[in-house]
Each structure stands twice: as structure tokens, then as C-alpha cells.
Amino acid sequence: METTMTIEVSLASRTDYDAISAFIDRYWAPRHIYCRSKALFEWAFGPSPDWRQDGYCFALARSAGQVIGILGGTPFTLNRFGAESKSCWLANWMVLPEHRRSGAGLRLMRIFSHDLGFDVFSIGLGKQVVPLYRAMRWRVMENFPRWVLVAPGAGARVRRFLSIRFPDWKEDKLNELAEMLGGVKDLDDPFESVPFDASWDEKGWPGFAPEIIGAKRDCRYLEWRYLKHPHFDYQFIVVPEGDRLGLLVWRKEDIIRRDGGPDEVVERAARIVDFLPSSKENARQLTSALIGEMKNHGLAFADFYGTHDRFGRWMEAAGFRRLDQRPVGKQFPSR
């Protein structure tokens, strides 16, 4: 624990949840998901494969016993082309305005980057805080390519979804985006997935580690990240190819319109959260299996954010469309 003047900075104990929840609810966002679900907070910042300490991986700044700043970290093992290091994703970095000249914010950050020795990452930054990260000499990636796959026969549904989301759009703009997205052909015999099991650590992840920067996606991580998630029901698609395995992880999501009246489900989509094909053909097979699942569940489209160039080319060959290739594509809504 560090002490400067009247501000103390330390990791939170398991008894601090109520104080953290109250701070987030009052100053960050009312009824934030971490306030409504202690289980999700515990999953993100409590015990996990990469966090074995008794308390939370969540730092607090206090003045006169009151919380005046917070910063959470979700630990993971970072893979850099096969080399591994301790890392964490940061979340909920905030110091109350009257204390922002105290240095408390940087001391919260130092807990993770110095005291715990993590490589630190932050995802989904708001435009207003990007200059702050640049000033700290962070590398900022402003464009994560997004890929969309329209299910067979779902073009009219997607066009209707766009007209609901953008009621002021003219026909030519709706047509341009609908034409860009296109659609994939129906499949007579979609590939079927095999069960996800411990063989992934032998036939799956080792083949990807030397060419990927990101979380170490071994069985331990994938089970914690997806199968043990307290809220989302993630599905695994595993397709063998010779002595290797390809993997696609996804979940269903209802897209809900909230415009002051009763909530209305306007469309259903598949959110792909991991896509690891062993080859171009394997990418097609994984996509084929996904399309079968989309048809079974009545989903109009699937989307995925990814930066791997070769995987992106394989996705495009399988029927996905990269949205940033045209200005109108960037306007395709995520919700």
C-alpha cells in the first residue's frame, strides 16, 4: 500500500465489493452490470486461472476512508508469437474530479504496471480519454476491422433491421449497404462440430501460438473465459483438419430497440468472439458449421472483430464482408 498526503492506494479485499459497487453506481454509471451482478464482478476480478490472490484484482484510492478512485484489472497470460507474459485488461479507471490533480490515477495504474508487473491493455476507449493514453506513451489502435456474415435468405431481414435502426436513411443508402453485405449461399450439408476437449491443447492452440498476439487460448483460458462466464452462453464449434483443430466461439444475442416504449427485439444475431481456422478450407468449414447453427436459431447475421490479415482473407473467402472497405459499411450497427 502507498500513502501520499491523505490518499491511500491498494488492492481491494473481498469485503470491499459493496463500496466498489456503490462508487460505480453513483459516479460511473447507474445500475452498471457490476452493480447488478456480483457474480460477473467476481468472474472478472476475483479468482481465475491467472489470479490466485485472496483479494480482488481491483485497485482502490481512498481519502479519509472513502473511495475516491478505482481501476480494475482482469489478468490473463499474453501470447506474443509464442512468448508468454503476465498481462491484464484494464477497466473502470476513474478518479473523482476534485482529486484528479493528486496523482491518484497514475498510482492506481502503477499497481498493475509496476507492483504486479503486468503488461496492461485497455479495450473500448472513449474518444475523450484517447489523448490521455497517448500522453502516457501508450500505443493506441483506433481501427479494429469488423466482419459481417449475412445468413442465407436473411438479406430482407437485415435490410428491415437497417431501416428500423436508421429511419431517416434514403433507399439508395439502404440498398448500398445491403448490396455490400450480400449473403452466402444456402448449404445442403453443413459441417458439424466435434466436442471441445483437452485435445485442443495438443492439436489446436500450439499451431496458433507462433503467429498470434493476444491471450493464450489454451483449454484453461477458454474454459474460464467462455464456458464459466456467469451471464453469456457461449458455444464452441470445433472442426478437425488432419492433425489440427480449428475453433470458432460464438453466442446468440437479441438486438433490442429501446426508444422510450416497451423493449422490442428487432433482430437476432451471432456474436463471434474467437475465430481460429487452421487453413482457408478450415475457415470455410467453421463458417459452414456456424451457418447451420444460425439457421437452427433463426439468426440474421454474424459479426466478428479481428486484426489477423490472413484469417481475414479466409473469412472473406468464406462469405464474410469487411465493413470498413466502404464508408457506409462503418455505419452498420452493432446493436
Query: Can you list the domains of the chain with their CATH numbers?
Result: 2-135 (3.40.630.30), 146-331 (3.40.630.30)
The pLDDT of residue 318 is above 70: yes
At a CB cut-off of 8 Å and minimum separation 6, what does 255 contact? 161, 265, 266, 267, 268, 269, 333, 335
What pTM did the predictor assign? 0.91
Q: Which residue has the cell 499497481?
A: 111
Is the pLDDT score of 188 beyond 80?
no
Span of 24-28, 123-127, 160-164, 283-287 with lowest mean pLDDT: 123-127
Give the residue-averaged pLDDT of 320-331.
89
Does the pLDDT at position 276 exceed 60? yes
Question: At CA 160, angle to CA 156 and CA 164, rounded to 5?
Answer: 170
pLDDT at position 3 is 42
Where is average pLDDT lowest: 125-134, 136-145, 195-204?
125-134
How high is the pLDDT of residue 233? Answer: 97
* DSSP labels, 191-228: --PPPP-TTHHHHTHHHHGGG-EEE--SHHHHIIIIIT
Task: Give the dihedral of Cα atoms 36, 266, 191, 146; nearest 10 deg.
Answer: -80
